[in-house]
Chain A
């Protein structure tokens, strides 16, 4: 697969020099994110000062749109690429810090509801993607990767599964391109559907966390709706991410039994290796906040640190999305992904609306 913004190969040099190489890209992420924040504030001020009704467009959307505009119009200089790739680091650090905004009781309550919904979503998504893959005669391992990507957490899950099931690079590229393209579409459609249906923040956040595949896009789709929806979307998505090891292990065992992947000798070690450690960090910070280790002002500071980390992430989401490169990946995996995603989004919407009625999310 051609790289949309290919990162240069880094020679084995000292960690300090590596950190230095990250700085230009991180500065670009910060500049784009901050420009989005300034645009939101200044447009709102301008509207008020001139008695104009200007819709409040959140910094999240501005940061993504500016990033998209840059990545789809100019070639990003190589010097920025290593730092842009840190957007995933900022996402995970932001999620850990977001734990401070959750009392552990809420995590247990909402996490338990999420867990039940995630289990249903997993079964539905895997069955549906496998069936669609057969219907459209995709290669079986490509179907497996699409099923893993759409049921758990997008790109990370596909990369984790690729090695475990010995899938081709080409299959992984197809699956990743389809998941990323659909994630970009979800960013803009989910908030519109949520507002159209008049969903409350919690129900919408739960839906975004369950149905949007990539963690960065799920976080952004939630934050685009409201701050509270963003919080719940992260919780639901984190619950989903925690399942990655089990699903990848299931697929690895399946392909190993078919003689087309390596056998796994130590399943516990495999699960720990695939488990996203930031979930534990999120729970730890939530536990510390619940134990009143932080006062009110400190909790506000931690929440704001989390927002700053997400600001860099949202800029990275825009910068890494190159539509021209995505269209080069072929139409069939995209059609299978799109059909599957629409069905999964509809089914999870029904699940969430049902859960909202029963549990008053």
Chain B
């Protein structure tokens, strides 16, 4: 992907108020919490 796309990519995420990094951390931690709480079980590969 070119620079234009990279910039637009981060623009997409900043429209959601927080950075892409912070979104990724928040979603991953929420997923870990759901696994810990037993809501998400036996995720196969």
A301 interface neighbour in B1, B24, B42, Cβ under 8 Å: B42
Q: Could you tell me the dominant secondary structure of chain A's interface residues?
A: helix
B2 interface neighbour in A86, A177, A281, Cβ under 8 Å: A177
Q: Which of chain A's residues have a CB closer than 8 A to the CB of B41? A: 297, 301
Within 8 A of A (CB), among B2-25: 2-13, 15-16, 19-25
Q: Which of chain A's residues have a CB closer than 8 A to the CB of B4? A: 1, 3, 6-7
A304 interface neighbour in B15, B16, B23, B43, Cβ under 8 Å: B43
Contact, CB under 8 Å: A301 / B8: no
Shortest Cβ distance from A303 into B: residue: B45
Contact, CB under 8 Å: B43 / A305: yes
Contact, CB under 8 Å: A5 / B35: no
B43 to chain A, nearest CB (A): 4
Is A26 part of the contact surface with B, judged by Cβ < 8 Å? no
Contact, CB under 8 Å: B32 / A18: no
Given the interface pairs A18-B15, A169-B3, A302-B35, the reply to whether A88 lies near B28 with Cβ below 8 Å is no
| A7-B3 Cα distance, complex, nearest whole Å | 11
Within 8 A of B (CB), among A1-36: 1-7, 9-10, 12, 15, 18, 22
Chain B: interface residue count, which band?
Answer: 35 or more
How many chain A residues have a CB neighbour from B under 8 Å? 62
Given the interface pairs A10-B12, A284-B29, the reply to whether A176 lies near B2 with Cβ below 8 Å is yes
Q: Which of chain B's residues have a CB closer than 8 A to the CB of A177? A: 2
Is A60 part of the contact surface with B, judged by Cβ < 8 Å? no
Is A325 part of the contact surface with B, judged by Cβ < 8 Å? yes
Question: Which of A92-100, A109-117, A185-193 lies at the interface with chain B?
Answer: A92-100
Q: Which of chain B's residues have a CB closer than 8 A to the CB of A307? A: 45
| A319-B7 Cα distance, complex, nearest whole Å | 17
Given the interface pairs A97-B28, A284-B29, A305-B43, the reply to whether A276 lies near B21 with Cβ below 8 Å is yes
Is A85 part of the contact surface with B, judged by Cβ < 8 Å? yes
Contact, CB under 8 Å: B20 / A1: no
| A305-B45 Cα distance, complex, nearest whole Å | 8
Q: Which of chain A's residues have a CB closer than 8 A to the CB of B13? A: 89
B12 interface neighbour in A5, A82, A301, Cβ under 8 Å: A82
B33 to chain A, nearest CB (A): 10
Contact, CB under 8 Å: A7 / B8: yes
Contact, CB under 8 Å: B43 / A301: yes
Q: Which of chain B's residues have a CB closer than 8 A to the CB of A294? A: 32, 35-36
Is A159 part of the contact surface with B, judged by Cβ < 8 Å? yes
Q: Which of chain B's residues have a CB closer than 8 A to the CB of A123? A: none
Contact, CB under 8 Å: A5 / B7: no
Given the interface pairs A93-B24, A277-B22, the reply to whether A7 lies near B31 with Cβ below 8 Å is no
B2 to chain A, nearest CB (A): 5
A325 interface neighbour in B2, B12, B25, Cβ under 8 Å: B2
> What are 29 A-B pairs with beta-carbon distances under 8 A?
A1-B4, A4-B2, A4-B5, A5-B2, A5-B5, A6-B2, A6-B4, A7-B9, A7-B12, A85-B5, A85-B9, A89-B24, A97-B32, A159-B3, A173-B3, A176-B3, A277-B22, A277-B25, A285-B29, A294-B35, A294-B36, A298-B35, A301-B42, A302-B35, A303-B45, A308-B43, A308-B45, A320-B5, A322-B2
| 11 more CB-based (< 8 A) A-B contacts, given A81-B5, A276-B21 | A1-B4, A7-B5, A12-B15, A18-B12, A18-B16, A85-B9, A91-B24, A92-B25, A173-B3, A278-B21, A278-B25
